[in-house]
Amino acid sequence: MSDLAVSSSGLTKRFGRQTAVDGIDLAVPTGAVYGFLGPNGSGKTTTIRMLLGLIAPTEGSATLLGHPVPGQVQAALPRVGAMIEGPAMHGHLSGRSNLHRLDSADRTANPATRRQRIGEALERVGLSAAAGKKFKAYSMGMRQRLGIAAALMQPHDLLVLDEPTNGLDPQGTREVRHLVSSLAHDGTTVLVSSHLLHEVEQMCTHIGVMSHGRLVAQDSLEGLKTDATGQVLLVTADPEAAHQVFTSAGLTGIQVDGHEVRADATGVVPEKLVAELVEAGVRVRSFTTTGHRLEDVFVNLTGEGFDVD
């Protein structure tokens, strides 16, 4: 199996004169929980629709589970579960009936196991008690859960979720996070599109950052944090000695102001630096770092704010 469940090269989509997605190179590792993060309107959903063969790219290429898209997308789709732009259900049908209808339309689904699989999917998203309720009476959070249940009715190698926590209360949001984690633990690759920084940071192992149709960063979660531009602030009675330690440690932008010593801290491991200061005899009154937060990385990359609640 390829190391990448999803990949693209120069993937571009234009609508008339407007470029919605501009030459992105995605790399979603097999087995990862990949957070596709960006403000609303940054091109995330358009990218996903191209990857699933729902719309054709203007330029570039992509592969889905090793199959070229859109040329061989039909070979890949039976192994993909997806919820894009919210669940499309019939309001007059119950939650269970909607799932039954969707499963009946799936040529790869086994009718003999349909009832069992629908029950298990509803149980997994916490909708067993509301399975007989009409969809039009569902809250937004319940509708999101039913959409996820639809994507879970068959085992998949890849699960694509577009804004899966939209409309969920805190408890529902936690349940979705745990669900995604359990799917990844079972070997499913999960691609989660979201504008919620806090949610992505808690559930994802890898992240791609979109801004104005471009992929401005892509790495593991820890890799992005390590690349964050932070700052060290040391308060000490030995500022000159501290300056020497900072210089030896490779820190840049060192500034001494009385008992305060500041420096850029990109890639710094705080515990290691404090140990080096103590070993050099520097008296440490206080040691703090700023930056190294995902929010700082995204603001630096995009110049835009993200919803972090």
Residues 146 and 243 in one domain: no
**Pick from 26-30, 167-171, 272-276: least confident:** 167-171
Domain boundary among 220, 247, 264: 220
In a domain, 244, yes or no: yes
Residues 210 and 281 in one domain: no
Note the pLDDT of residue 308. Answer: 43
In a domain, 210, yes or no: yes
Do residue 81 and residue 186 come from a single domain? yes
* Tokens, residue 40: 């609303």
Measured between alpha carbons, how far is 129 from 150 in angstroms, rounded to an integer?
A: 16
211 and 273 part of one domain? no
Reported as a pLDDT band with limits 50, 70 and 90, residue 165 is: confident
Q: How confident is the model at residue 267 (pLDDT cuts 50, 70, 90)?
A: low
Q: Which two tokens stand for residue 8?
A: 């693209």
Per-residue confidence (pLDDT) for residue 61, from 0 to 100: 95
Mean pLDDT of 23-42: 94
- Res 80 pLDDT > 80: yes
**Is 262 inside a domain boundary?**
yes
What's the CATH number where 242 sits? 3.30.70.100
Q: Phi, psi (5° rounding) for residue 236?
A: -150, 155
Q: Which pairing describes strands 252-257 and 231-236: parallel, antiparallel, or unpaired?
A: unpaired
CATH assignment at residue 187:
3.40.50.300
Residue 227 banded pLDDT, cuts 50, 70, 90: low
Element (H, E) at 69: strand 67-69
Helix, strand, coil % over all residues of the chain, rounded to 5: 35, 30, 35
d(CA 177, CA 180): 5
Rounded to an integer, the average pLDDT of 99-111 is: 92
Q: Which range among 11-15, 181-185, 215-219 has the greatest average pLDDT? A: 11-15
* Assigned domain for 249 exists: yes
Whether 118 and 235 map to the same domain: the answer is: no
70: cis peptide before it, omega within 30°?
Answer: yes
Whether residue 287 sits in one domain with residue 180? no
pLDDT over 90 at 60, yes or no: yes
Q: How many domains does the chain have?
A: 2
Give the distance, in angstroms, between the CA of residue 22 and the centroid of all CA atoms in the same chain.
19
How would residue 239 be classed by pLDDT, with cut points 50, 70 and 90?
very high
Confidence at 186, pLDDT banded by 50, 70, 90: confident
Once rounded to an integer, what is the mean pLDDT over residues 164-188?
A: 84
Checking if the pLDDT of 176 tops 90, the result is no
Q: Are residues 149 and 246 in the same domain?
A: no
CB 83 within 8 A of CB 52: no
- In angstroms, rounded to a whole number, what is the distance separating the alpha carbons of residues 21 and 54? 15
Question: What residues have CB less than 8 Å from 15, skipping those under 6 apart?
Answer: none
| Mean local confidence (pLDDT), 205-229 | 86
The letter for the amino acid at 174 is: R
Domain span including residue 37? 4-220
Comparing 174 with 12, the larger pLDDT belongs to: 12
